Amino acid sequence: MTEGKHDLEIVRQVAAPPAKVWRAWSDPDILKLWWCPRPWTTEVRAHDLRTGGAFHTFMSGPDGGTSDNPGIFLEVVPLQRIVWTSMLVEGWRPADPWLPMTGIFLIEPEGQGTRYTARCLHRSDADRAKHEEMGFFDGWGTMIEQMEEVAKGLD
């Protein structure tokens, strides 16, 4: 699903309650278990969950490839909403990201589970198209499936 000309969006029913989805996001030791499609792995280099706090993930693939993604959190509403951007780094400093984006993640109760929205905002339609061609829907879809599996397994 695409919302707005420059945006990409996935909405999924997740079979875990909002409190567990929130834990999967707010604990970096849990987040790293699902943050990128396996067999790639995630190192969480910063996870300061507040407006302006650093959020930095570094991913590594079995072929030696890496993906470095510094950024900051912009909005944090416990159990409900997280906004992150690659456009700025800690201390509000402008960044020069390989993928200019803002991610908006919404957690809403739905039945026994969660309605989870992952929305990615871009500068332009060209950036949106490039991200879609890079495999946004497969990649982010897999992340959400991994998140669901991890969240369901939490106590």
Smallest distance from a second copy to CB 96, Å: 5
Side-chain-facing half-sphere of 16: CA atoms under 13 Å: 22
Under the binding rule (CB under 8 A), the answer on residue 87 touching a second copy is yes
Single residue of 5, 39, 64, 92 touching a second copy by CB under 8 A: 92
Under the binding rule (CB under 8 A), the answer on residue 5 touching a second copy is no
Single residue of 74, 143, 150, 151 touching a second copy by CB under 8 A: 74
Indicate the SS3 state at residue 116. strand
Under the binding rule (CB under 8 A), the answer on residue 49 touching a second copy is no
Crossing angle, helix 18-26 and helix 136-152, to 10 degrees? 110
Residue span binding a second copy (CB under 8 A) among the ranges 16-24, 38-46, 55-63, 80-88: 80-88
Crossing angle, helix 125-133 and helix 136-152, to 10 degrees? 70
Site string for a second copy, 8-47 (x = CB under 8 A): ----------------------------------------
Show the tokens assigned to 37.
């499609």
How far is residue 117 from each of residues 8, 13, 106, 120, 126, measured CA to CA in Å?
11, 9, 5, 10, 22
Binding site for a second copy (CB under 8 A): 6, 51-52, 74-75, 83, 85-88, 91-96, 100-102, 104, 121-124, 127
